[in-house]
Amino acid sequence: MMTSRGCPYGCTFCDRGVFGNYVRAHSPERVLAEIEELLGRYGAREIRFFDDTFTINRKRVEKICEMIIERGLRFPWTCLTRVNTVDKGLLRLMKEAGCWQVLFGLESGDPRMLDNLNKGSSVEQNSQAVQLALEAGLGVRGDFIIGTPGETMESLENTLAFTTRSGLDYAHFNKFVPYPGTELYERLVSEGHEFDTKNLPPIVDHAAIVYVPDGLTRVELKEFLDRAHREFYLRPSHVVRRLLRTGSWHEFTGQAKGALAIVGL
């Protein structure tokens, strides 16, 4: 579901050409009507809220959660959001209303890179938000962008170190793709870089790197992406933690297939 459009933040890697900076949101009542239709008419078993920042309006999210609880709706859901729009009380209410995981766009574990990306958050804020979500009983996924302008091997290692010490359940290491309409794309083009915008590769293809920061090579970026997935997901402590939290045979086989895929990178 998308219950709102628009994002007021100015991250340099993000294209706001479609939804814009002005946030428009459905009312809690409209959101609940759509939830009930998905559950009752279409038999939905889980819902993900794909709003750019689901918790940007705290009162609206509180009302949505309270209405879910009051109406006795039982369904698991997840959402995408930012570290500076959540706190302990809100995360606990979300958990009570059925949320099982939050996705934070953390982007980097290096303070210089966060500033370069105009993320508007610090490494300390990122770490605190992850801990608050974990304390509320939520799973946490962090998304990171690898290879943006200014990236160095030191900043890459800082990002990897952050992921392994933060308690994240999932870490997505996405290679940087300069999408048209973003500030970084315009900057790189103005500097003389050329990109085939009709054939940009998928983010998950580690070998298809379209931009290499000064001081790094394509081989180094690919090797880091491969290694980052192995070092995060195949840590003994992480493997044990995932096994202990596995609730079904289906989930177990999914975890096993994921581990085999990582080993084969």
pLDDT for the residue 25 = 97
Domain segments of the chain as ranges:
4-233
Rounded CA separation 117/14 (Å) = 9
pLDDT above 60 for 164: yes
Contact (Cβ atoms closer than 8 angstroms) between residue 143 and residue 106: yes
Q: Tell me the average pLDDT across 92-102.
A: 98
Comparison of pLDDT for 15 and 82, the residue scoring more: 82
Q: What is the pLDDT of residue 184?
A: 96
Confidence of residue 96 (pLDDT cuts 50, 70, 90): very high
pLDDT averaged over every residue in the chain: 91
Model confidence pLDDT, tens digit, residues 185-235: 999 999 999 988 788 777 677 888 999 999 999 999 999 999 999 999 999
pLDDT classification of 29: cutoffs 50, 70, 90: very high
> Which among 210, 207, 227, 230 has a CA at the least distance from the CA of 219?
207
pLDDT score, position 66:
98
What confidence score (pLDDT) does residue 70 get?
Answer: 98
Residue in the structure block whose two tokens are 């996924």 = 141
Spatial contact of 142 and 173, defined as CB atoms under 8 Å apart = no
Among 95-99, 155-159, 249-253, name the one with the lowest average pLDDT: 249-253
C-beta of residue 82 within 8 angstroms of C-beta of residue 107:
no
Q: Residue type at 76?
A: P
Which regions of 77-223 does DSSP assign to beta strands (E)? 77-81, 99-107, 139-146, 170-175
Could you confirm whether domain 4-233 is CATH 3.20.20.70? yes
Are 215 and 152 in contact by the 8 Å Cβ rule? The answer is yes
pLDDT at 246: 67
Residue 252 confidence (pLDDT) above 60: no
Is pLDDT of 118 > 60? yes
SS3 content of the chain, % helix, strand, coil (to 5): 45, 15, 40
More confident of the two residues 177 and 156: 156
Binning pLDDT at 50, 70 and 90, where does residue 247 land? low
Query: What is the model's pLDDT at position 249?
Result: 58
Mean pLDDT calculated for residue range 26-45: 97
Cα separation, 238 vs 251, in Å, equals: 16
Q: Estimate the crossing angle of helix 58-70 against helix 88-96, to 10 degrees.
A: 30
Q: Which residue has the tokens 């209303």?
A: 97
Question: Tell me: the pLDDT tens digits for 41-90?
Answer: 999 999 999 999 999 999 999 999 999 999 999 999 999 999 999 999 99
Q: Supply the pLDDT for residue 196.
A: 86
CB neighbour list of residue 28: distance below 8 Å, 6 or more residues apart: 60, 63, 64, 67
Residue 99: pLDDT band by 50, 70, 90 thresholds?
very high
